[in-house]
Chain A
Amino acid sequence: MSSFSTLTDAELVRRCRAGEPGAWDELVERFSRYVYAVCVRGFRLEEPDAEDAFQEVFTRIYTHLDSLRDDSALRPWIAQLTRRVCLDTVSRGKREQQTENPVPEDTPADLDAIEEAFTVREALATLPEQCQDILDRFFARDQSYRTISEELDLPAGTIASRIARCLGKLRNELEGRSEPTSESRE
């Protein structure tokens, strides 16, 4: 965990603008899964389009960070940027291929779920590191009980109960939060 990982988005933006070493790395780390999911799952882009879109999003973030008026609105700004880049990629693909295959337009159901997933990850980041690690390995990285047991040097028989316990903590964290405000969404 970097020293920047506990910063608010607004503070992180300020440090990125100041060119503080490590701040940009944290910004990329914080939003890379989200941007990746929107490109690959939300818009179903395939490589190399997905990778180009991913890099284009971060290039635009980097070059236009100064134009962000409200530093705390980083997330909706990145969400909007990512969707725009993905839509451009889809449109370009349509023009180039002139295919009759249906190209996904904006797919709100997936995108809404990705937004919700990002909120869950923000809550996950507040849990003890062991919980973050085990939940990330099992769900996001799709690791088996056996792999988790071997890599974390934990008895295999305790993995399921640890996951359940950590999920409970995550639920408590989310239930302790209020409904997301409209500013946190597009």
Chain B
Amino acid sequence: MSVTVELERLGELLRLLPPAPLGWVQAAQELPLARRTLDEIVARAEEDLAFREALVADLERALEQEGYEPDRRLVEELRARLTDR
């Protein structure tokens, strides 16, 4: 940034950074909680064979039945983690 700054240029630069959509920001802020949920489900699946089989058979349904919100990101990541093991 030049030490001599035109006001018009400042306005243009401020316009370049509008807020991100609120839902995106909130989802990113909830990441720690989402990670904990994910870790909790994976840990349980490792200990509880019936739960693991239910997850493998129908992931979304098994999550719903256990009271988890099966949002897309959780489902995708969980699917990847379960197939990794």
- List the interface of chain A (C-beta within 8 A of B): 19, 24-25, 28-29, 32-37, 41, 51, 54-55, 58-59, 62-63, 113-114, 116-121, 124, 135-136, 139-142, 164, 167-168, 170-171, 174-175, 177, 179-180
Most buried by B among A58, A139, A168: A139
Which residues 1-36 of B have a CB within 8 angstroms of A?
1, 3-5, 7, 10-11, 13-21, 24-25, 27-29, 31-32, 35
Question: Contact check: which of A33, A55, A117, A121 meets B28 at CB < 8 Å?
Answer: A55
Give the size of the chain B interface in residues (CB under 8 angstroms). Answer: 25
- List the interface of chain B (C-beta within 8 A of A): 1, 3-5, 7, 10-11, 13-21, 24-25, 27-29, 31-32, 35, 73
**A54 lies within 8 A of B28 (CB):** yes
**A171 lies within 8 A of B19 (CB):** no
Looking across the interface, which residue of chain A has its beta carbon closest to that of B7? A167
Residues on A with C-beta less than 8 A from B27 are: 55
Question: Contact check: which of B15, B24, B31 meets A59 at CB < 8 Å?
Answer: B31
**A121 lies within 8 A of B10 (CB):** no
